[in-house]
Amino acid sequence: MPELPEVETMRRGILAIEGAEITSVEKVRCSRKPISILPNMATIRRRLTGKKVKAVGRIGKRVVIQMENDDRLLFEPRMTGLVLVADPPSQEHVRFRMEFSLGEKEVLYWDRRGLGLIYLLNPQQYQDRFSLENLGPDALDVTGPLLKSIFGKARRPIKVALLDQKKVAGIGNLYASEILHVAGIHPAQRCDRITLKQWNLIAQTTIDILQTAITHEGSTLSDGTYRNALNDPGGYQNMHRVYDKEGQGCPLCIQTKITRIVQAQRSTFFCKTCQKRR
């Protein structure tokens, strides 16, 4: 589930490791489905131990720990991964641990379903993997004209298009529904039938919603999986307008009930009155 706001919250939660030296790197024994860690642990340990952290960043839905030699260790949480500095939700799902020279600092990677990825890239590998051909611009940097240039000729539905990480990085299923509701755009509206004025509204709404969600440290859904770096829940779920609210009244027009449809095998929530298809 973690989307841009949740991953950005994870990133901010471990900023204290900047400038610290890595003293140990460990793949934690886990009886659950193993996660993918590349290259092998011996190589990761050799390349990271004794190195200082230059910066903690984010690219799309990934936390990026940049080392002093510009190697980068990436955590890609996928559905249920968490990057933590505090006691994890459960010990049995801890997959990876790093310890640092500054006091008691450590970073844990926890993953209940084991779908996440951890990988170490050198500068050239990082550049190749995350070129604009492979990953779109960050969702916090979009503009109306940029979105129109990316999607304007596409015939696919706007909701499905926004989930394409090669086009725009960071938006997932939850926030796509929220963005389109506030912008008043039907989720099945074809991209090539959206006007520049509407693209401008989608862009501004995207930035506003994602920034607000970051302020509230992301969304913890009913399964309780997502937590911030201190193992506390987010708060933006209390501000959701349509996501997972099928049958409830629309917060804008009040009388219309939120509808759920399936697009590209994902649930979409919207209001038929506020988001008319044109």
Query: C-alpha angle with apex 70: 44 to 211, nearest 5 degrees?
Result: 100
Q: Are the C-beta atoms of residues 232 and 84 closer than 8 Å to each other?
A: no
DSSP code string of 201-258: HHHHHHHHHHHHHHHTT----TT-----TTS---SGGGG-SSTT-TTSBPTTTSSSBP
Catalytic site residue 51?
Answer: no
Is 266 a known active-site residue? yes
Choosing from 12, 167, 266, 272, the catalytic residue is 266
**Coil/strand/helix, residue 176:** helix
Would you call 2 a catalytic residue per the annotation? yes
Pair 17, 102: CB distance under 8 Å = yes
Catalytic residue of the set 3, 6, 8, 217: 3
69 CB neighbour count, 10 Å cutoff: 12
CA-CA distance, 217 to 232, in Å (whole number)? Answer: 9
CA angle in degrees (0–180, nearest 5) for 165-166-171? 20
CB 184 within 8 A of CB 236: no
Active-site hit among 11, 47, 58, 61: 61
SS3 assignment, position 191: helix
Q: Is 3 a catalytic residue?
A: yes
Cβ pair 80, 71 in contact under 8 A? no
- Residues serving a catalytic function are 2-3, 61, 266
